[in-house]
């Protein structure tokens, strides 16, 4: 009889320990899901589903970086969710290696003194414009910006969460920022 009770207690403390992890990182999980889904309701669904998955695998979590662990699950949950719900996802080809020292990109940037970034520092509607530009980014780029700039994660952590090689993080961030800059420029030129 005792053997039946002890695991019951075990389950209880397991739930408790899990709660501590997910509550600690809930805002980070929601922020990532909110940026990926671009929708409040869907973000909640994704986070809830991810937490249940995380709980199922919780026995294998032995401490360490709880945030990276949970965010990786949130991210995976989002991609399986979108595949299920929208069938086909992202046709954008993510060709990280072709970007890098693209001289012409950079020259264009240098000449465009008035690229809008200056004005964004002061404008009142800067928040709206930055949010919109970020929302326009393809998910693969949006997620690295969110992880780097909002979660302030290191390249190693980003590599873990996004499931990409460490060496790819920098080039993907470079492309993401380049695109973001372009969207911002377009955004600030609108009347």
Partner 1 sequence: MDCTQIRRLLHGYLDQELDLANTTAIDQHLKSCAACKRLFERQSMLRSVVKQQATYYAAPAKLADRIRAEVNRTAANAPARTRRLPWFQFGHWLQLGTAIAATAAVTWIAAFQLNSPSQDELVAEQVISGHARSILTGHLADVASSDQHTVKPWLSSKLDFSPAATDLTTAGFPLVGGRLDYVDNRPVAALVYRHRQHMINLFVWPDPKSDQASPMQTLSKHGYHVLHWTGEGMTYWAISDLNPAEIKTFAETYASAK
* Window 141 to 180, contacts with partner 1 (CB under 8 A): 145-146, 148-152, 154-157, 160, 170-171, 173-174, 177, 180
Instruction: Quickly tell me which residue has 């928040």 as its tokens.
Output: 127
Chosen residue from 31, 75, 141, 162 binding partner 1 by CB under 8 A: 31
- Tell whether residue 111 is a contact of partner 1 (CB under 8 A): no
What does the alpha-carbon distance between residue 120 and residue 62 come to, in Å, rounded to a whole number?
Answer: 44
Using the contact rule CB under 8 A, the part of the chain among 51-59, 75-83, 89-97 near partner 1 is 51-59
- Tell whether residue 181 is a contact of partner 1 (CB under 8 A): yes
Using the contact rule CB under 8 A, the part of the chain among 79-87, 88-96, 140-148 near partner 1 is 140-148
On whether the CB atoms of residues 18 and 52 are closer than 8 A, the answer is no
On whether the CB atoms of residues 51 and 29 are closer than 8 A, the answer is yes
Using the contact rule CB under 8 A, the part of the chain among 80-88, 90-98, 128-136 near partner 1 is 128-136
* Residue among 91 and 143 whose Cβ is closer to partner 1: 143
> Is 141 strand, coil or helix?
helix
Chosen residue from 17, 48, 85, 114 binding partner 1 by CB under 8 A: 48
- Tell whether residue 24 is a contact of partner 1 (CB under 8 A): yes
Chosen residue from 80, 85, 114, 131 binding partner 1 by CB under 8 A: 131
On whether the CB atoms of residues 36 and 139 are closer than 8 A, the answer is yes
Chosen residue from 42, 79, 120, 138 binding partner 1 by CB under 8 A: 120
Chosen residue from 42, 55, 79, 179 binding partner 1 by CB under 8 A: 55
Nearest distance from residue 71's CB to partner 1, in Å? 9
List the interface residues with partner 1, window 77-96 (CB under 8 A). Answer: none
Taking alpha carbons only, the member of 153, 179, 178 closest to residue 166 is: 153
- Tell whether residue 26 is a contact of partner 1 (CB under 8 A): yes
Cα 130 to its chain centre, rounded Å, is 16
């Amino acid at each position: 009889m005792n053997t039946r009770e002890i695991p019951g207690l075990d389950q209880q403390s397991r739930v408790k320990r899990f709660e501590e992890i997910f509550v600690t990182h809930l805002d980070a999980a929601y922020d990532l899901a909110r940026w990926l889904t671009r929708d409040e309701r869907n973000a909640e669904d994704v986070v809830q589903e991810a937490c249940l998955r995380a709980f199922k695998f919780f026995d294998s979590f032995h401490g360490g970086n709880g945030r990276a662990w949970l965010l990786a699950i949130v991210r995976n949950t989002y991609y399986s969710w979108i595949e299920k719900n929208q069938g086909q996802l992202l046709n954008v080809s993510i060709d990280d290696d072709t970007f890098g020292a693209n001289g012409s990109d950079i020259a264009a940037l240098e000449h465009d003194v008035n690229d809008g970034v200056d004005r964004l520092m002061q404008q009142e509607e800067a928040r709206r414009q930055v949010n919109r530009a970020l929302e326009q980014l393809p998910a693969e780029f949006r997620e690295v910006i969110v992880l780097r700039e909002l979660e302030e994660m290191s390249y190693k952590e980003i590599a873990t969460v996004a499931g990409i090689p460490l060496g790819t993080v920098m080039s993907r961030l470079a492309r993401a920022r380049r695109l973001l800059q372009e969207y911002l420029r377009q955004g600030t030129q609108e009347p």
